[in-house]
């Protein structure tokens, strides 16, 4: 095994052993607090361009299976872990974690002091990092703000036929688990590219629209806000993660970047209507700014227990709901899977598919 280095743009250097693809990589260094679900995490398109640090100390213990990839091709920049398990034990395991990285063309580094790295990120804020065989001294010239949504979104329309209502899934980097959750609710699903216009979606004659999760800064999609607003004004709509932020922005709200984001399967969220706390799966670096929400337009439905940030919105006139967390989980608890069930129930109860714009 070959020694390698993760060099942060702030100057800190972390040593380890290189695993996965044999290449240098550069990206935003983030951390995930989940105890399980590493396969789903490394295949989640929302991590496009990021170096994921796993807080859990041992990665690879139950191997890789044939079912839990969230996308066909991982989009993350790389992986940083503590201890690597090369002897997985699970009856569904077909591969080792390190072999999965190698086959996917994803570089990684193991044997890193991930506790110190996470403490560094928490004190510095999210920083860029360079993973390579040698310490990096110059970060100039590296692309830092590509349009990740365009890179991970589908390029063609995909159809999944079923017996229930027809949902258009706008793909900003959707997870397979969202599609599966809709299919489990007997929905027919049409997956469309992120930049599909209102007119094209209207021509598909959906009963409802779901705006998916995805990577990057939501303001990178500013030119499509008018289309997003029109879509939500014509169809029952659910926004998840990036989709939540885009709907808020389309109605005039603002977003801001968190110091180090919310990533993991153990984030407590309070449902304001009941006072109940749900444990949720999250993966985002941006939040909707509290003061930018028009209380005459949106009701805040969920808040993060830890930092009080907005976790959900409900439109006061249109059948629009948004959540910052992932109700389908995978990986994570299933506390909030009822949100997808409620969305389908709302579609079925809508009666007329279209209603007048107010």
**Digits of tens for pLDDT over the chain (358 positions)?**
799 999 999 999 999 999 999 999 999 999 999 999 999 999 999 999 999 999 999 999 999 999 999 999 999 999 999 999 999 999 999 999 999 999 999 999 999 999 999 999 999 998 999 999 999 887 776 766 789 999 999 999 999 999 999 999 999 999 999 999 999 999 999 999 999 999 999 999 999 999 999 999 999 999 999 999 999 999 999 999 999 999 999 999 999 999 999 999 999 999 999 999 999 999 999 999 999 999 999 999 999 999 999 999 999 999 999 999 999 988 888 899 999 999 999 998 875 444 333 3
What lies within 8 Å, CB to CB, of 295 at 6+ separation is none
Beta carbons of 204 and 159 less than 8 angstroms apart: no
Could you say which of 28, 40, 311, 328 is catalytic? Answer: 328
Terminal C-alpha separation, the chain: 64
CA–CA separation, 225 and 146 (whole Å) = 19
Beta carbons of 174 and 237 less than 8 angstroms apart: no
The pTM assigned to this predicted structure is: 0.95
Domain 153-349 class in CATH? alpha beta
Domain boundaries, the chain: 3-132, 153-349
Q: Give which of 204, 172, 173, 200 is closest to 189, Cα–Cα.
A: 204
Could you say which of 241, 262, 284, 330 is catalytic? Answer: 241
Report residue 97 as tokens.
Answer: 């974690």
- Catalytic annotation present for 187: no
- Catalytic annotation present for 199: no
- Catalytic annotation present for 326: yes
Domain 3-132 class in CATH? alpha beta
CA–CA separation, 358 and 350 (whole Å) = 17
Could you say which of 166, 244, 326, 330 is catalytic? Answer: 326
């Amino acid at each position: 095994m070959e020694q390698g280095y993760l060099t942060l743009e702030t100057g800190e250097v972390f040593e380890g052993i290189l695993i996965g693809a044999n290449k240098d990589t550069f990206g935003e260094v983030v951390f995930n607090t989940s105890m399980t679900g590493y396969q789903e995490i490394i295949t989640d398109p929302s991590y496009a361009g990021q170096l994921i640090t796993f807080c859990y100390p041992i990665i690879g213990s139950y191997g890789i299976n044939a079912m839990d990839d969230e996308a066909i091709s991982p989009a993350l920049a790389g992986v940083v872990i503590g201890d690597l398990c090369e002897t997985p034990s699970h009856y569904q395991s077909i591969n080792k974690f390190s072999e999965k990285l190698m086959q996917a063309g994803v570089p990684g580094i193991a044997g890193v002091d991930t506790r110190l790295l996470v403490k560094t990120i928490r004190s510095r804020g999210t920083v860029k990092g360079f993973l390579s065989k040698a310490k990096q001294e110059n970060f100039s010239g590296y692309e830092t703000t590509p349009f990740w949504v365009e890179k991970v979104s589908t390029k063609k329309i995909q159809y999944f036929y079923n017996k229930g209502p027809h949902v258009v899934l706008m793909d900003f980097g959707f997870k397979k688990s969202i599609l599966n959750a809709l299919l489990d609710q007997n929905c027919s699903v049409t997956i469309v590219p992120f930049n599909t216009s209102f007119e094209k979606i209207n021509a598909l004659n959906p009963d409802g629209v779901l705006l998916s999760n995805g990577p990057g800064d939501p303001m990178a999609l500013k030119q499509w806000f008018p289309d997003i607003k029109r879509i939500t004004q014509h169809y029952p709509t659910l926004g998840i993660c990036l989709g939540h932020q885009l709907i808020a922005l389309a109605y005039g709200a603002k977003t801001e970047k968190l110091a180090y984001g919310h990533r993991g399967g153990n984030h407590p969220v309070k449902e304001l209507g009941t006072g109940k706390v749900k444990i949720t799966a999250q993966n985002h670096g941006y939040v909707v700014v509290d003061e930018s929400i028009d209380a005459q337009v949106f009701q805040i439905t969920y808040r993060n227990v830890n930092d009080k940030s907005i976790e959900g919105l409900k439109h006061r006139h249109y059948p629009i709901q948004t959540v910052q967390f992932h109700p389908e989980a995978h990986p994570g608890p299933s506390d909030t899977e009822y949100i997808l069930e409620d969305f389908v129930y709302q579609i079925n109860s809508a009666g007329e598919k279209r209603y007048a714009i107010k």
